[in-house]
């Protein structure tokens, strides 16, 4: 089985983004099914994001970054940032962080 962790860094401010809501969903024959939803802590992390190991499949993480920027009074281009990914086999850990600013976002596979 596989596990997932994530965190959000506000690259415009150079600090973690606390309070960002992130949802994990899995694709199925009936559409996207919710797996878990959480909110980043003051360090920009969701420490126990997946409590149950995940089976191979097609997943997506959606971070509500527009709400995060709105709370701080900053305009932003993107409402959400979404990582759409495949877990091909069991037994790996996937650390998928979000690097955000009001005008861009990116990701990478961390360790």
Residue 51 has pLDDT above 80, yes or no: no
The predicted model scores a pTM of 0.93
Place of tokens 């701080």: 72
Residue 53 has pLDDT above 90, yes or no: no
For residue 100 the two structure tokens come to: 């955000």
For residue 97 the two structure tokens come to: 């962080």
Question: CB of 66 within 8 A of CB of 74?
Answer: no
For residue 49 the two structure tokens come to: 């994001």
CATH class of residue range 3-107? mainly beta
What is the DSSP pairing of strand 98-101 with strand 3-10?
A: parallel
Residue 41 has pLDDT above 90, yes or no: yes
Q: What pLDDT does residue 1 have?
A: 60
Q: What pLDDT does residue 90 have?
A: 79
The domain limits of the chain are 3-107
3-state secondary structure of 10: strand
């Amino acid at each position: 089985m596989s596990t997932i962790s994530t965190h959000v860094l506000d690259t415009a401010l150079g600090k973690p983004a606390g309070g960002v809501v992130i949802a994990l969903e899995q694709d199925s024959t009936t559409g996207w099914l919710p797996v878990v939803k959480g909110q980043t802590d003051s360090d920009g992390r969701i420490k126990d994001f997946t409590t149950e190991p995940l089976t191979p499949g097609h997943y997506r993480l959606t971070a509500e970054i527009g709400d995060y920027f709105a709370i701080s009074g900053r305009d932003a281009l993107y409402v959400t940032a979404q990582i759409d990914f495949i877990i091909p086999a069991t037994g790996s850990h996937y650390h998928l962080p979000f690097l955000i600013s009001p005008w861009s976002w990116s990701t990478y596979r961390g360790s």
